[in-house]
Amino acid sequence: DGIDILVNNAIFRAIKPFLEIEEDEFDKSLFTNIKGYFFLAQKVVPYMIKRHGGRVINVASTFGFVGSSNLSAYCTCKGAVVNMTRAMAFELAGENIHVNAVAPGPIMTEGMSDLIKRVPSVHESRVQDVPMGRFGTPEEIAEVCLFLASEQCSYMNGSVLVADGGFLTH
């Protein structure tokens, strides 16, 4: 009869220079990376309120903090996810709903694997950006989400945990 935890995780990347992104690509990025998160949370949160609390975990990205060539729409959206997380946390705190985010760095997802197959140079260039010298795994990000969903985070709200192998350190 309720929902305790929502993990918002979706991605659309228009990988092209800023001047070449078409309006429909930008709209798809907004719809997938922001609007979907916002309105799914809006549908789920009333069930959490009925249960007197819950956790919303938004998957952002390190690109919500830094820019990158050919990813301007994606960076824009993931930056918005970070601030949406903070705004939701502020507004929902009185309902005992904790809203936090995880910002992954380079993760070896199916999408990343497909991109590397198409453009092999992506692997080396991305790994060079990570001081740990490797991609993260989906399982490692799932562990961060489990932590954010746990009672160990009872005083965390509006926070963004970065799990990036050190990507943002330089």
For this structure, is 74 an active site residue?
yes
**All residues at 6 or more sequence positions from 161 whose CB lies less than 8 Å from its CB, including other chains:** 100, 101, 102, 103, 144, 147, 148
Q: What angle do CA 160, 161, 165 make, to 5 degrees?
A: 140
**All residues at 6 or more sequence positions from 55 whose CB lies less than 8 Å from its CB, including other chains:** 4, 5, 6, 97, 98, 99, 100, 148, 149, 153
Residue environment code for 81-107, b if the CB has 16+ CB neighbours within 10 A, otherwise e: bbebbbebbeebeeeebbbbbbbbbbb
Task: Given the residues 37, 47, 74, 155, select the one marked as catalytic.
Answer: 74
Instruction: Name beta bridge partners: 14.
Output: none
DSSP letter at 169 equals G
Residues recognised as catalytic: 74
